[in-house]
Chains A and B, each alone.
Chain A
Amino acid sequence: MKKMRWSALIPLLLLLVFPLVIQSDYYRHIFIIALMWVVIGSSWNLLAGYTGQVSFGHAIFFGTGAYTAGLCATKLGISAWWGMLLGGPVAVLVGLFIGWVCFRLRGPYFALATIAVGEIFRIVATVWRDLTDGMQGILIMQTFRSKIPYYYLALFLAALCVYAIHRVIKSKWGYCFVAIREDQDAAESMGISAFRYKSLSLAVSSFFTGLAGAFYMNYMAFIDPHVVFSLHYISIMAILVGIIGGVGTLWGPPVGAFVMVLLQETFRSSFFGLLPKWVSEGHVLVFGVLVIFVIRYMANGIVGDWSKIKRIWSKEKPEPVATIGS
């Protein structure tokens, strides 16, 4: 607990003062998106990294949360902010249904089902125009013109999510999750209902992802099915954030989120306009290369292999203190 408090305090303080120091809305926007990805990545990691149930469909929960918020505005005529209350629970219902169907089976069925359900949701949201307005998407009015309220809301969500997951993994649930990941037969013989605890893990994971989706709707003020139910922009990105940062570590996804969002933005903007435009087309390629690199050289991600990375660093620059002294 003590360790968590101190190591969390410094980044939290830096993030708290960030929008006060940095006046540019552009950088604030990037950080808002990164904080949102902290939530999604951490949620994915709870399910895949700690419980061993790899999801290829976190867009299901993200999109469900986003559309819940959007439909509050377009269909119910209430503020899309109600989505912040409803988005999580609705995503949990969807998650629990998938779990109810898939968690009785072992092996890759859950992973396969998440891909399939993700595609189903995307297509249904595209075709069911009466409800979702299809590819026209949902457009609402942004509540605030300033980025600052959104920034602090995103920071609050990210901190809440990381703290909640920290508490979960240190509790009975966490031990049961990891036991299931390591050996389901052993876990069952230890009195752990694999079905129940997988479902609990999925519920927590889908709740926060749904919350992130509802936030996205309110912040971006526009969604369409191909963005929020996207296999590669959301589902695969969630996996990348987890893998790059470190699967099964608390701080892996937060680190992975910032690395991935900054990297994505760097390439998307062709190195902030410094390089020719075609560079921006290559960002998917760069992600691919990055994943190969990470899996080959640091399979536990940046956080999981931090001691390894530090060692390489110190080899390249031996004893920096001595250099300064001489």
Chain B
Amino acid sequence: MSFFETQHLTKAFGGLIAVNDLSFKVEQGKIYGLIGPNGSGKTTVFNLINGYYPITSGTILFEGQELNGLPTWKICKLGIGRTFQIVKPLRRMTVLENVMASAFNRTAREEESREKALEVLEFCELLKKRDYPAKGLTIGDRKRLEIARALATGPKLLLLDETMAGLTPQEQADGVVLIRKIRDSGMTIIIVEHIMQVIMNICDQILCINYGQEIVQGSPVEVANNPAVIEAYLGRE
């Protein structure tokens, strides 16, 4: 039994097949990269994993359990946390309250939730901003808040959807440090990212897709040198 895998995962929106027969396995404790040109179906894969869209065909298995048909909140309870590419801060709550709302996923007691939230905020280096309203954060901090909130739900698998997009090079470097730190804490990560420097640096395995279909799977070096990947990104000569 693998830690996480999809089998022949397919999603059709009417006639448009956004994800087409995608099968991949993720090993526990690794960082798995999902890359592909714009509109290739990366975020759709995340939306299928966390139950936001119903699956057209195929299965998703997490620790041997089938996720098909489960509601989003139940999938979170099983231990899959996610961030959103278009960040969704709970605007009229403070940073701490945002993370506490997540931390209640594993406890019903207020003090425990607060403790967990403070711990996560320290880990994500947001502790100083804990009393800021979430709507007042910079984009870099909003992305961090997304990660903090996903971590506070106590996941075993973390889905990171373009957490570096729109950040300055310095913020990106800090982000890479944070993601490594999360991996070192024993979590498994699936990451969608456009910035090649980031993805090549931190991933153990990469899956490149285009038009919802697999182009190649392998180590970062294998993927980067694959002619089909280069063609998908840069076009044919």
> What is A's interface to B at a CB cutoff of 8 Å?
170-172, 175-176, 178-179, 182-183, 185-194, 248
Contact = CB atoms under 8 A, between A and B. Distances in A.
Given A189-B84, A190-B153, A172 B104 contact: yes
A192 to B, nearest CB: 6
Given A178-B90, A179-B93, A190 B105 contact: yes
A191 B77 contact: yes
Contact of A172 (B72, B89, B93, B113): B113
Interface in B64-120: 71-74, 76-77, 81-82, 84, 88-93, 97, 100-102, 104-105, 107-110, 113
A69 to B, nearest CB: 34
Given A171-B110, A172-B113, A191 B91 contact: no
Given A172-B108, A182-B91, A186-B90, A193 B97 contact: no
Given A190-B73, A192-B104, 12 more contacts: A176-B104, A178-B90, A178-B93, A182-B91, A185-B88, A186-B90, A189-B81, A190-B149, A191-B73, A191-B104, A191-B105, A193-B74
Nearest to B72: A188
Contacts of A172: 104, 107-110, 113
Main secondary structure of the interface of A (DSSP, over half): helix
Considering residues A172, A175, A188, A190, which has the most beta carbons from chain B within 10 angstroms of its beta carbon? A190
A182 B135 CA distance: 11
A1 to B, nearest CB: 11
Nearest to A195: B71
A32 to B, nearest CB: 34
Contacts, number: 80
Nearest to B105: A191
Contact of A178 (B52, B82, B101, B109): B101
Nearest to B109: A172
A188 B110 contact: no
Contact of A182 (B72, B93, B153): B93
Closest 7 CB pairs of A and B: A191-B105, A191-B76, A182-B90, A186-B88, A188-B72, A175-B101, A179-B101
Considering residues A172, A178, A187, A189, which has the most beta carbons from chain B within 10 angstroms of its beta carbon? A189
Interface residues on B, range: 20 to 34
Contacts of A191: 73, 76-77, 102, 104-105, 153
B50 interface: yes
B93 A189 contact: no
B37 to A, nearest CB: 25
Contact of A186 (B77, B84, B105): B84
A190 B101 contact: yes
A189 B90 CA distance: 12
B71 A188 contact: yes
Contact of A193 (B52, B73, B89, B149): B73
A193 B105 CA distance: 10
A183 B90 contact: yes
A188 B101 CA distance: 11
Nearest to A170: B110
Contacts of A192: 73, 101, 104-105
Contacts of B93: 178-179, 182
Given A170-B110, A185-B88, A193 B101 contact: no
Considering residues A172, A183, A248, which has the most beta carbons from chain B within 10 angstroms of its beta carbon? A172
B73 A188 contact: yes
Considering residues B73, B92, B101, B149, which has the most beta carbons from chain A within 10 angstroms of its beta carbon? B101
Contacts of B73: 187-194
B97 A189 contact: no
